[in-house]
Structure 1
């Protein structure tokens, strides 16, 4: 996870340089969006695979594929191979993310899961501090290709560990693939359609003209048609249990990552602050996320998980409101930096809590299914909320003019999913387990089972 975070945070600053060097700046939105779109497909593949054969195999495939995709990107002669490399890297990232969450659910007792997830968050602290600066230095001294080659060399270590150390691991029949539970698995064609839809949507909102509008409309139509097939029944109605948990992952992720995209843009364009200030915002956000995640790990058994979700979502809503205030010229630009840090603290409380709730609500032997649904929901939330905010931003820019009013409207939109997540948090509430770790009798069938799907 440490090297995964290092790769993720070091690659992103290099993509604009690579696109310019390959004469593909016009296709940069496609390159940037390919990763998120492909991680949808990787999440579905990883979730199904983890339930059938345990988390070790998709984890091994994910880290090995990461090495290969970094090499594909490093040797790109044109922008299309770079886009292909980023797409394949997205598939690998989806496999790894879902496998890690499924492994936590399959391997750790409930009392240790919160701390395990806090450790995963802590693994991103050093990469957030050192990854972007080191990548920038390597690119300045050599080239952006050296960054990709170097990351591939570093990632060989966890790839070798996964292949050599995990190949002899066994799956616990009580929690792994041997448990015969009728979980409704998402179809791979639907996952591929949703991945293509996400890429079309992200490309479509990158400009304001007829071809881009057609791509955005087509992408949204495909999302409406196929996305429900990848999620538990009644997700869009916030059905109690896993459906509501999955929906809240989409709402919180959409609000946070869209805020993370718009605040740096506002700082660099409308407020004209130095680049180092924007860098401090990302560093502070990473530290705040990890710190809040540590707090939720220590709160295990003391505070109900759904209350942490509600509080974290409320903190995010306050952060979005603070970012909106920063569109007033009288408000210092430093307040916008504080909004990113505050929002990250809210996510540090809400995101691990939602992951734990999804594992609690998952049907027996379905931790991979629940983790895949959460990964899919997160990426869908990012795609849809960012698309809506970008469309609103572009429309206000064309009508009202000026630099700050479009940001004010975009931030106003982001308050809605954050407040909705806080209001719906009680629907994610999990019943306490019995002393031996089992489940108490449920009042209704678990979402995704055959009994629940009959309705």
Structure 2
């Protein structure tokens, strides 16, 4: 997870430089969107694989694929090769993220899961501090390709360790896969539906990057494919916020979509409308990473003190306050530093909500299907990012075209983000785990989870 964070925070700032160097600035939205779209595919595949054979093999495959795909990107001679590299990197990231969550669910007792997840969040602290400036220095001194090669070299070490050490042993999860084993009945999403949703996510993100006939067609096709195939990858009744796992999956989409859209628009506002130095924007990302890790540490210490669904509601409320602060910064008299604090505030909310939702998804799921649940959460997160960012970007582009100033467009975008956050706060109660019978021998809660998955 440490190397995943370092790769993300070191590589992402260099993608515009790589696109310009490869004469592909016009396709930059596709370069940026390919990663998120492919993580959908990687998450679903990794979840099904983890249920069938344990989390070891998809984790190993994800680490090895990460090394390969970084080399593909580093050696890019065309913008399309870079797109391919980012797409395969998204698959690898989906495999790793889902495998880590499934491994925590399969290997750790309930009272240690919260701390394990907070440790995963802490792995992003050092990358947030060192990744962007180090990558910028290397790119300025040598080339952006050296950054890709360097991250691939660092990732090669745990990839080799995974291949050598994380071998399936008798008696481990997934060792028995006969016709009568629990793993044999795991629901596996259809591969064509998964591929269709990944392509649809990429088309939607590319389509909202400009207003013309071609982009409109791409966006329309993407939305149609999402509506048709996305429900096949999620638990039944997700869009209706059915109690238990469906509501938990939906709230991951709402909170993640709102946060990562805010994270995209605040730096854009600071650099284009408020004209602050780039170092200030860098502090915003660093502060957000530290705030997220700190809040995640806090939720890990609140085990058995505060119900998880209440932490989700509290996190959503903090995010709503953060969006309000960002909206205030569209008023010229408000200092731009307030916008920087809005990202840190939103990260506090996510640090409380995201691990809590992951723990709730594991609590609502029988042991032999926690890989599926983790895959559904990853899919929901990617879909939420895609859809919320697409709708907000469309509104932002429309208001910008009708106004001489971009500040009203930013105000409209922030106002729109209140909707998914408010929805998450209102629906948090539907994710709760019943106090009675959850740990009893009757298995009633497991039976409920089985029904939801069916």
- The TM tier, using the shorter chain, reads over 0.9
1:45-194 mapped onto 2 (5 Å cutoff): 45-170=45-170, 172=172, 178-180=181-183, 182-194=185-197
Q: Offset of 1:401 from its aligned partner?
A: 3.1
* Contact map agreement 1:51 1:176 (CA 8 A) in 2: no
Candidates 195, 210, 215, aligned match of 1:212 = 215
Candidates 257, 261, 267, aligned match of 1:258 = 261
1:278 aligns with 2:278: no
Task: Label 1:286 to 1:112 Cα distance change in 2 as closer, same or farther (>3 A).
Answer: same
For the residue of structure 2 that corresponds to 1:426, the secondary structure is helix
Residues 100-159 of structure 1: per-residue CA shift (max 9 Å, x gap) = 000000000000000000000000000000001000000011100000000000000110
1:396 aligns with 2:399: yes
* Contact map agreement 2:52 2:174 (CA 8 A) in 1: no
* Contact map agreement 1:34 1:86 (CA 8 A) in 2: yes
Q: Offset of 1:355 from its aligned partner?
A: 0.3
Cα distance in 1, alignment partners of residues 372 and 117 from structure 2: 18
* Contact map agreement 1:316 1:347 (CA 8 A) in 2: yes
Q: Offset of 1:14 from its aligned partner?
A: 1.0
1:410 aligns with 2:413: yes
Residue of structure 2 equivalent to 1:319:
322
54-63 or 164-173, which deviates more: 164-173
Cα distance in 2, alignment partners of residues 117 and 433 from structure 1: 25
Cα distance in 2, alignment partners of residues 435 and 368 from structure 1: 20
Residues 377-401 of structure 1: per-residue CA shift (max 9 Å, x gap) = 0000000000000000011111233
Cα distance in 1, alignment partners of residues 363 and 444 from structure 2: 13
Task: Label 1:274 to 1:222 Cα distance change in 2 as closer, same or farther (>3 A).
Answer: same
1:239 aligns with 2:263: no
For the residue of structure 2 that corresponds to 1:12, the secondary structure is helix
Task: Label 1:444 to 1:160 Cα distance change in 2 as closer, same or farther (>3 A).
Answer: closer
* Contact map agreement 1:242 1:361 (CA 8 A) in 2: yes
Residues 61-114 of structure 1: per-residue CA shift (max 9 Å, x gap) = 000000000000001111111100000000000000000000000000000000
Cα distance in 2, alignment partners of residues 148 and 97 from structure 1: 20
Task: Label 1:174 to 1:199 Cα distance change in 2 as closer, same or farther (>3 A).
Answer: closer
Residues 407-436 of structure 1: per-residue CA shift (max 9 Å, x gap) = 000000000100110100000001248797
Task: Label 1:170 to 1:249 Cα distance change in 2 as closer, same or farther (>3 A).
Answer: farther
For the residue of structure 2 that corresponds to 1:446, the secondary structure is helix
Provide TM-score, normalisation by structure 2.
0.96
1:291-440 mapped onto 2 (5 Å cutoff): 291-432=294-435, 440=443
For the residue of structure 1 that corresponds to 2:304, the secondary structure is coil
Q: Offset of 1:182 from its aligned partner?
A: 4.0
Provide TM-score, normalisation by structure 1.
0.96
Cα distance in 2, alignment partners of residues 107 and 176 from structure 1: 17
Q: Offset of 1:445 from its aligned partner?
A: 3.4
Task: Label 1:218 to 1:362 Cα distance change in 2 as closer, same or farther (>3 A).
Answer: same
Cα distance in 1, alignment partners of residues 19 and 401 from structure 2: 27
Q: Offset of 1:364 from its aligned partner?
A: 3.1
Cα distance in 2, alignment partners of residues 209 and 301 from structure 1: 53
For the residue of structure 2 that corresponds to 1:216, the secondary structure is helix
* Contact map agreement 1:53 1:171 (CA 8 A) in 2: no
Residue of structure 2 equivalent to 1:39:
39
Unaligned runs of 5+ in 2: none
* Contact map agreement 2:46 2:98 (CA 8 A) in 1: yes
Task: Label 1:76 to 1:437 Cα distance change in 2 as closer, same or farther (>3 A).
Answer: farther
Task: Label 1:360 to 1:128 Cα distance change in 2 as closer, same or farther (>3 A).
Answer: same
Q: Offset of 1:446 from its aligned partner?
A: 2.2
Paired residues in the alignment total: 451
Cα distance in 2, alignment partners of residues 345 and 44 from structure 1: 28
Cα distance in 2, alignment partners of residues 184 and 359 from structure 1: 16
